[in-house]
A and B are shown apart, each in its own frame.
Chain A
């Protein structure tokens, strides 16, 4: 009964993502470090979602604020490149 709905896994198992900021135990994310933050923005300038970047909720919140601050200083684009 329990084994009936079990499906065989097709294809490669998705790799478990890990938060880049947790790895270095970052307590804050510097908005002035545009090169670092740029990795978490699409080429259209949008903030990458958590499911893509793999960040934890806490760091994603901090990151979003620092991206918005960097945009204000024209370190990152609001839209496009």
Chain B
């Protein structure tokens, strides 16, 4: 079955409970139309480039669906009926799905050696700077000597 990307924007002034109920309702509609939700990613509250229904922000939700294409107009209509959804867009799937959170720790250790490598030049830099004060110190005793 072909894959599709669904992105919709939910009103920003909903609390977590209302937000999850909107998600549930939307998902239910999708399943009713025979869509298989392969991945859902809530992007969170984002500032929109222009106001929609006088809202300047919106909760973005992204889903990757796998379904037959002839049900898309009905899904579009059903999502439009939900009042808390400001805008929807269904397109042919583009791009890879973001890997699950288990992949993030894998990238984090790779960053750690980079962080470790960077302090080394920094520690080298203070060393030349430390002799400088010591070089400055000997001239200071000299004036009392003279």
Report A's interface with B, CB cutoff 8 A: 28-33, 45, 66, 69, 71-78, 81
Contact = CB atoms under 8 A, between A and B. Distances in A.
Given A76-B49, A78-B50, A30 B89 contact: no
Contacts of A71: 49
Number of chain B interface residues as a range: 10 to 19
Nearest to A31: B94
B49 A75 contact: yes
B95 A74 contact: no
A73 B87 CA distance: 7
Interface of B: 5, 7, 9, 48-50, 52, 58, 60, 62, 87, 89, 91, 94-95
Contacts of A30: 94-95
B50 A74 contact: yes
A72 B76 CA distance: 14
B87 A72 contact: yes
- Which DSSP category, helix, strand, loop or mixed, fits chain B's interface? strand
A74 B48 contact: yes
5 contacts: A32-B5, A32-B62, A32-B95, A73-B60, A75-B48
A31 B48 contact: no
Contact of B9 (A28, A31, A73): A73
B58 A74 contact: yes
Nearest to B60: A73
Nearest to B56: A74
A73 B86 CA distance: 10
Given A69-B89, A73-B87, A32 B52 contact: no
A32 B89 CA distance: 11
Given A28-B95, A30-B94, A32-B95, A74 B52 contact: yes
B9, B48, B49, B58 interface centre (most CB from chain A within 10 Å)? B49
